Amino acid sequence: MTRTIEVRSSVELPAKRTDIELHTADGLTLVGELAVPDGTAPVATLVTLHPLPTAGGFMDSHILRKAAARLPALADLAVLRFNTRGTSSPRGTSGGSFDDGVDERLDLDAAMRFVEENNLPHPWLLGWSFGTELALKYGLEHNIDGAMLLSPPLHRASEAELAAWATNSVPLVALIPEFDDFLRPAEAREKFHVVPNVELIEVPGGKHLWVGESQVRRVLNEIVAHVNPAKAPLPETYVVD
């Protein structure tokens, strides 16, 4: 017997979900989860980087949790989430302590090594707030297909680190909320001028935390439109066997 469910709120669609551990070059163990499509191979991989842990960000921050809950089933994407050093969530606490985006470079290294070792295809970085800083500062050190930035504050990434994205062909996409707490569209256009190839997407009515189902759907649809456009736009219902 089949039933149709509405895709919204905290719904979790079918996927193969595995608790994982990442091991950093400085000896730390980071906890995380890999969600992949159930019964088919993923066509691409989202390596997620969560918001600021000292402000409550972690691997379960709602956009990242909903990406893992929906996108393996709806868009054939693998979603890798993990707690950076010193960060806690229901999954557990990663070793080490918060280093303000410095030694977190090794955390991203560990995640990308996991992607390579497990033959996960076409990785894209998906950073949110603090996570965008890690993507901008260190993403080009890795073999990625692209990077998506949600609410980038640009507090830690330098102009030189931004400008490095202009000298390669890796796509860079930034979603800028109209009412962001840290970086609004006009300022984003000014600060990203050193990356003329960046795709800036200004989101009317958007806020830094992307609260509300309409904002969640906008973010997830933008992700899929860039990473696996054949699956965009996402359906709002799902048939369960």
Task: State the CB neighbour count (10 A cutoff) for residue 19.
Answer: 10
What is the rounded average pLDDT for all residues in the chain? Answer: 97
Domain locations in the chain? Answer: 3-240
Whether omega for the bond prior to residue 171 falls within 30 degrees of 0, making it cis, is no
pLDDT at residue 1 is higher than 80? no
Task: State the CB neighbour count (10 A cutoff) for residue 187.
Answer: 13
Pick the closest to residue 98 from 41, 145, 30, 144 (CA basis).
30
Task: State the CB neighbour count (10 A cutoff) for residue 182.
Answer: 14
Architecture of domain 3-240: 3-Layer(aba) Sandwich (3.40)
* pLDDT-above-90 percentage for the chain: 96
DSSP 26: T
pLDDT at residue 240 is higher than 90? no
**In the predicted model, what is the mean pLDDT of residues 142-165?**
97
